[in-house]
Amino acid sequence: MIRLREVVKIEVNVLLNISNNAGFPWAECSITENRLMYVSDSVGLKRSKRNTGVHRYEFELVTNDMPMTQGRGIKAKLSRAVDDTLLFVHPRLSYSQGTIPASQVKVSGAQSANTDIISLTSTGIWQLLSGDYIQMPNDTKVYEVATDTLLQTGSQNVELTSRIRLALTNATTVITNNVTWYLESDGVIEVSMEASNNQDMQLVLKAVERI
C-alpha cells in the first residue's frame, strides 16, 4: 500500500526592526504616497480619473556615514532580510502632535470598511492634529489624519487622507503613538564609500509599505 503525504508549506514573515532606536543610524527619510488611479485622456485632452482607494507609503532611508565595520554589519542584516517584513518607527512622525490621554483613543461604534471618516472616542481629553499618523487595531497599514479634531472628551469624527481597508470593532484601541510602518524591501541596497580612503560607508534602502 502506498501512502501519500501532503506537505504544506508555511510561510513565516520574520520581523526585523530597522528603527533608529534599534541601532539603524538613519539620517534621512523620504516618504512618498502612491495611490492607484485610473487616468484617461480624451481626444480633446480632457483628463478624467478615478481613485481606486488603494494607497501605500514608499520609503527611501539613508544612513549616516558609518565606520566600515558598522556599515558592513548593517548592510548584511538588510540583505538577509530582503524577503522579511521590516518594522520602522519614525523618531518623530510616529508620534501624535495632539493630546492623547492615558485612557487612549478607541473606536466608537462599529465602523464599515472603505470609508475615510471614522468615529473615535475617549473618556479623557483628546485631540488628533492634521498630519498625525495612526493605526487601526486590526490592521498594520498606517493612515494619516486629514483635519484637526476638537480638544474634548467623548466621541467625534476623524477624517483620514485614505480609506480604511477593514471594518472596525467598537471599543478597540487605536494606535496613536509608536506607530509602526510594516515595510518590504524592493531588493536594492545602495552602498557608497569615500573614494579617498574607503573607511566610511553610507547605505540607502528603498522599501514600500506591505499591504
pLDDT in tens, 154-205: 999 999 999 999 999 999 999 999 999 999 999 999 999 876 667 789 999 9
pLDDT in tens, 70-91: 999 999 999 999 999 999 999 9
Q: What is the C-alpha to C-alpha distance for residues 158 and 129, in angstroms, rounded to an integer? A: 10
- The phi and psi torsions of 75 (rounded to 5 degrees) equal -60, -40
- The phi and psi torsions of 12 (rounded to 5 degrees) equal -120, 120
pTM given for the model:
0.86
Is 95 exposed, middle or buried (CB count within 10 Å of its CB: 0-12, 13-18, 19+)? middle
* CATH fold of the domain at 15-91+180-209: Phosphorylase Kinase; domain 1 (3.30.200)
Break the chain into its structural domains and give their ranges: 15-91+180-209, 95-179
Angle of CA points 150, 156, 161, to nearest 5°: 85
Cα dihedral 24/57/95/204 (nearest 10): 20
* CATH fold of the domain at 95-179: Elongation Factor Tu (Ef-tu); domain 3 (2.40.30)
